[in-house]
Amino acid sequence: MSLWKFGTFEQEIDFTDADFMDALEEAQEQLVIQSKETPKVGKKSDIIRAQVDCFAQFFDHIFGPGTSEKMYEGRVSLELAIQSAESFSRFGEQEGRRMDQSYSKYYVNANRNTQQRQGGQKGQHHNR
């Protein structure tokens, strides 16, 4: 578990928690659907509100209602919304690398196991 920070918002996140991953995957699916439904033409302010709302609902789904309000401190800023998404994405990538390094010693290496079974005699053939 690690601490993700965005502005004054802080949240402990465990990417190995199945319930958290369920919420994240659902939020990602909803974000894709909702972003396709946002207006592309019209008043710029309405377009910005719709786009920010996509990100707000994403974070509210993952961390609970009101999260986006805390993260964006009441502002409806597309720049803040994009920055939050980029920050969260980078954090997830960093955590993925950290977990890979931590858990790599527990992964089964099929090639190494085959060599061990063969007594380390790679490339040698025996006629019996």
Domain range list for the chain: 2-89
Confidence of residue 18 (pLDDT cuts 50, 70, 90): very high
Dihedral (C-alpha) 59, 62, 66, 70: value to the nearest 10 degrees? -50
Tell me the average pLDDT across 24-43.
Answer: 96
Look at residue 120 and tell me whether its pLDDT is greater than 70.
no
Token pair of 59 as six digits: 């974070």
Query: What's the pTM value of the predicted model, to 2 decimals?
Result: 0.78
Token pair of 120 as six digits: 């380390």
pLDDT at 52: 98
Look at residue 121 and tell me whether its pLDDT is greater than 80.
no
